[in-house]
């Protein structure tokens, strides 16, 4: 068996075993609250037939994409500049460290007050949740650049914007990608929590609505499984970027 085949088969075996254990435990306990795997699968089929599954998945992905991309556009330039200019870091670092520990969930009442029950509220929360990990990773990426790269550029007379474009940005890319991967995972967590309160669509809304509408725990667990599966797909997607030549050098295999 080839190595890449094992990378697919071994996780599949683990998941299959866990599903069997899940089914056996629920069958042995005889509980009626937590559903068995087949009931969850039946719930997913029901959501597909009702035409709401794709709608909710697309809604959640749209909010995550919008907030996450906005955080990249703002966080990376600010982080690179603050990491390069020591005075800027000293000036803004206390503010960053004060805002960073505040949970995005704590911003939900403020987001609803500002944006109402609309897509803007979860997008704002996802932006906040993603911004600080991306900014912190950008600052660290600049500060961890090896001096040999900077001195070589200076010997060739490279400075100013050209230095950022040709030396600092490429050297920081691997660490920026790691920060973006972490931020995307956080963004996916936050959108589910935000959709339980701030909107009336999405996978988070599906879970809370199924719980309130007749205690449909089969649909609750179906939503949880979908959230986990989509989170895995998002992580695999961003990890594929590590294979790009511009960043592959920064990752040990």
Count the alpha carbons within 13 Å of 156 in the hemisphere toward its beta carbon. 11
pLDDT value of position 6 = 59
pLDDT in tens, 33-51: 788 888 888 888 988 888 8
pLDDT value of position 251 = 55
What's the pTM value of the predicted model, to 2 decimals?
A: 0.81
pLDDT value of position 68 = 92
| 203 class by beta-carbon count within 10 Å (0-12 exposed, 13-18 middle, 19+ buried) | buried
Q: Where are the alpha helices (DSSP H) in 116-159?
A: 120-143, 147-155
Contact 80, 169 (CB under 8 A): yes
Helix or strand holding residue 27 (H, E): helix 3-29
Report the C-alpha gap between 199 and 62 in whole angstroms: 13
Name which of 165, 227, 215, 216 is nearest 42 in CA terms. 216
**Of 211 and 114, which is predicted with more confidence?**
114
62, two tokens: 């749209």
What is the DSSP code (8-state) at residue 243? Answer: G
Residue 107: pLDDT band with limits 50, 70, 90: confident
106, two tokens: 């704590």
Report the C-alpha gap between 218 and 6 in whole angstroms: 32
Query: How many other C-beta atoms can be found within 10 angstroms of the C-beta atom of residue 227?
Result: 20
pLDDT value of position 160 = 66
pLDDT value of position 149 = 66
Contact 101, 45 (CB under 8 A): no
Contact 24, 16 (CB under 8 A): no
For the chain, give the number of residues. 253
Buried-exposed string 56-68: b where 16+ CB fall within 10 A, e elsewhere: bbebbbbbbbbbb
**Of 157 and 34, which is predicted with more confidence?**
34
Report the C-alpha gap between 223 and 220 in whole angstroms: 5
């Amino acid at each position: 068996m080839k190595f890449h085949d094992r990378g697919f088969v071994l996780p599949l075996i683990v998941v299959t075993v866990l599903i069997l254990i899940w089914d056996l435990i629920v069958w042995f306990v005889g509980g009626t609250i937590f559903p068995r795997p087949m009931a969850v699968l039946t719930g997913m089929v029901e959501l597909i037939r009702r035409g709401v599954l794709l709608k909710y998945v697309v809604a959640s992905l749209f909010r995550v994409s919008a907030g996450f991309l906005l955080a990249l556009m703002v966080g990376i330039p600010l982080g690179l500049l603050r990491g390069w200019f020591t005075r800027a870091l000293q000036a803004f670092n206390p503010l960053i460290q004060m805002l960073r520990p505040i949970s995005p969930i704590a911003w939900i009442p403020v987001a609803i007050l500002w944006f109402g029950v609309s897509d803007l509220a979860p997008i704002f929360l996802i932006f906040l949740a993603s911004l600080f990990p991306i900014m912190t990773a950008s600052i660290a990426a600049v500060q961890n650049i090896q001096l040999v790269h900077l001195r070589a550029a200076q010997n060739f007379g490279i400075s100013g914007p050209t230095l950022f474009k040709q030396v600092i940005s490429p050297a920081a890319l691997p660490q920026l990608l790691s920060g973006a991967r972490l931020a995307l995972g956080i963004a996916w967590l936050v959108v589910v929590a935000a959709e339980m309160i701030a909107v009336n669509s999405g996978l988070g809304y599906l879970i809370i609505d199924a719980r309130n509408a007749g205690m449909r725990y089969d649909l609750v667990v179906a939503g949880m499984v979908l959230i986990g599966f989509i989170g895995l797909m998002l992580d695999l997607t961003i990890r594929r970027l590590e294979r790009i030549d511009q960043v592959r050098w920064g990752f040990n295999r």
